[in-house]
Amino acid sequence: MTARLTTFTNDGLTFDVHDDGPADGTPVVLLHGFPQTSASWARVTPHLHAAGYRTIVPDQRGYSPGARPRGRYAYRMSALVGDVAALIDTLGAGPVHLVGHDWGAAVAWSTAANRPHLVATLTSVSVPHPMAFVRSIVSSSQGFRSIYMAVFQIPWLPELVLTRMLRAAATGGPQRRARAMAAAHLDDEQFDRLLRDIVDGGALPYALNWYRAMAITTPRSGLAKVAAPTTHVWSTRDAFIARRSADLAARYVTGPYRIEVLDATHWVPEERPAELAALIVARARGDETT
């Protein structure tokens, strides 16, 4: 019987992993985004298990308590890709079906582009290839949608303000909580996880370092195209990612490529888990007609 993973190590760091589904199933590695943890995939994985897939879902760098190095340099894209590569090597199962949402999608794109031997197929959710994202900033509303990324570059202040705002929303009564949830398009479960895992769990300062490392990420790492069969999923009510970026993503894939559009906000894995799982399975099986 295949041994289950509960942790893996890289760069002297220890990462928590949720390894579920059929032990002999083909592995699907799912990468979460900001400000979330592996729990963001909890509504998707049962559908993948039912289709016969084994799911490997790590808490990434800055989110796993044992993998929280200080300083933004530790969160550059090459380090994040290195973590995924170490996870796949630990699995020892050959190339995997790689899935990412939000920042997890950015890491998945970079992994598929720069470590192609590790990736059988790619399904990206919300965030497109890095160069498609950059090009959309100057050719659409993406620049306006991404202003918060510039704000996150300020040391200390963003985590302080976000922590105070979220805790005030949690304790300020039902109406204040409801307004905060509506502004972020979160449901009760997502909001509670954000408070518990990110704010109270101490991950927020480290998670913000992903943004702060953007300025020191080597541009070359985002230029390579992806050869793996790829599906990119965009959602019609995404407040953070413009449609233009999704349309540009096709230019950075040399293998089979599809774009899928779902009716959802940015939080596709929680809002459309069954539909997203079906798209992941279709890509993994090479079904170009579903």
Give per-residue pLDDT as tens, 234-265.
999 999 999 999 999 999 999 999 999 999 99
Q: Residue 88: inside a domain, yes or no? A: yes
Q: Residue 198: inside a domain, yes or no? A: no
Q: Residue 159: inside a domain, yes or no? A: no
Q: Residue 232: inside a domain, yes or no? A: yes
In degrees and rounded to multiples of 5, residue 9 shows phi and psi of -125, 150
Q: Residue 120: inside a domain, yes or no? A: yes
pTM over cut 0.95? yes
Q: Residue 1: inside a domain, yes or no? A: no
Number of domains in the chain: 1
Q: Residue 197: inside a domain, yes or no? A: no
Q: Specify the higher pLDDT residue, 190 or 220.
A: 190
Residue type, 228: A
Number of neighbouring beta carbons within 10 Å of residue 253:
25
Q: So what's the pLDDT on residue 246?
A: 95
Q: Residue 275: inside a domain, yes or no? A: yes
Question: What CATH number has the domain bearing residue 228?
Answer: 3.40.50.1820
Name the residue range of residue 79's domain.
7-142+219-285
pLDDT band per the 50, 70, 90 thresholds, residue 288: low
Do the beta carbons of residue 15 and residue 67 sit within 8 Å?
A: yes
Residue of 107, 102, 112, 215 lying closest to 154 (CA atoms): 215
Read off the pLDDT of each residue in 80-103 and give the average, rounded to a whole number: 96
